[in-house]
Chain A
Amino acid sequence: MLTDPLAVLLRFALYAVLGLMFGLLAFRKYSPMPTRLVGRQVIIAMAALGLVLSGTGLVELAARMHGLSLADVGMAEVATILSLPGLGTAFGVRIAALLATIAVMAIWPARGRTALMLAGVALVCLAFQGHAGATEGRAGLGHLLATALHLVAAGIWLGALVMFLAMSARGSQIDRGTLAASLKRFHGVGTMVVATLALTGSVAFLMIAGWPLPAAAFQSPWWWLLALKLVVFVAMLGLAAVNRFHLAPGLAAGQVHAVQWIRRSIMLELALGVFILALVAWLGLLAPDPG
């Protein structure tokens, strides 16, 4: 079942790094906080890691698709992958976007919006790896769009969780007022993120599984992993709701241990989010039909 552990690991790492990089850049746009928490070195390091992962992923994919071992992959096999319409182009665009992100952050660090857009392009290119890249025609375009929005929304959530964790960490220089204001600012963004995830997730599910649901539903691991993903998603929603309706107002009202509770709940929410990324990394390599 888990025939390609390296492929799953690389997909997971790419979702995490590119999603987080986009989410951190997005956070700087919608949240009032000192930018020193996420310096440009952090973004440059993440983009560089994204490049290494993408290069490794390209070789791994070439090996997997050609039925070769990693050591036997040559330039010809890599060139074949890059020449594939959609998938190959997306690889090239992603690598170019990551290089451009590094250049922008190194030369014009104030150009946060340009870096955000470039990081978004790199993240969205991941949609081509997996089920959305395999759907044909106009339906394929819809599937890609849904997956791209799903990635963007997930990235924003991931970035916000990491930022809130950093801001509520022990020894953080961020005062309670800034944290409370940041949490409050995220309320609207968070609602949009959850709505987008629910809608685009449902669309992608229907496009992969088919409607009406096939008779062979739940006869392959794909279904069970997806069900587990949904359960974890609902748990994240529960934690986010506790944060929004209970902990954040408590912080704003000056409750003594509010920061500590927020830190704990964000930590748990982040752990669940990372678990979902691992599930998705695996899900994308499985098919819903048992054959």
Chain B
Amino acid sequence: MSRLIAGAMLFAMAAAPAAAHPKLLASAPAEGAAVAAPGEIRLQFSEKLFSKMSGAKLVRADGKPAGAAEVNFAEDGKSLMLVPAKPLAAGGYTVEWYGVAGDTHRVTGTLHFTVR
């Protein structure tokens, strides 16, 4: 019995903490960066996202249409890639993203960057 208890506790202590709401860990371009027109915008999250309920939209800071962009997910489900159909024109951009992971909590956020 005491072995079972010790085993269960060790198992739990060795496991990585779970159940955090998904968070944006990193992005390329980074928040606030000024870059050459990127071929893709990559968002990396802390949790595996459900692709059917997660996504992102690209909008221009000046309100003009940003053009179409395709949303893809990396195989591990933790990275979301936004691929513009055409090279981005110079100016400010905002990525409006949303994501749901296993804890069922829907999170949303924005990422801003400038194309030189």
Q: Which residues of A contact B (CB under 8 A)?
A: 61, 64-67, 80, 83-84, 86-87, 129-136, 139-140, 142-143, 146, 199, 202-211, 214, 285, 287-289, 291
Contacts and interface: CB of A to CB of B under 8 A. Distances in A.
Contacts of B9: 202-203, 206
Contacts of B20: 287-289
Given A135-B15, A206-B13, A66 B102 contact: no
B15 A130 contact: no
B17 A214 contact: yes
Contact of B104 (A65, A135, A206, A288): A65
Contacts of B45: none
A142 B21 contact: no
Contact of B8 (A146, A214, A289): A146
Contacts of A207: 12, 15, 17-19
Contact of B12 (A66, A136, A203): A203
B18 A80 contact: no
A87 B11 contact: no
B17 A210 contact: yes
B8 A139 contact: no
Contacts of B108: 67
Given A134-B18, A202-B12, A211-B12, A67 B48 contact: no
A210 B98 CA distance: 26
B23 interface: yes
Contacts of B52: 80, 83
Interface string B42-56: 000001101011000
B111 interface: no
A208 B23 CA distance: 16
A260 B64 CA distance: 75
Interface of B: 5, 8-9, 11-13, 15-21, 23, 47-48, 50, 52-53, 98, 100-106, 108
A49 B114 CA distance: 54
The SS class assigned to the A binding surface is: helix
Given A84-B50, A130-B103, A199 B18 contact: no
A133 B12 CA distance: 15
Contact of B18 (A66, A139, A202, A285): A139
A133 B103 contact: yes
Contacts of A129: 104
A64 B107 CA distance: 10
A287 B19 contact: yes
Contacts of A202: 9, 12
A137 B11 CA distance: 13
A61 B106 CA distance: 10
A142 B100 CA distance: 23
A287 B16 contact: no
Contacts of B8: 142, 146, 199, 203
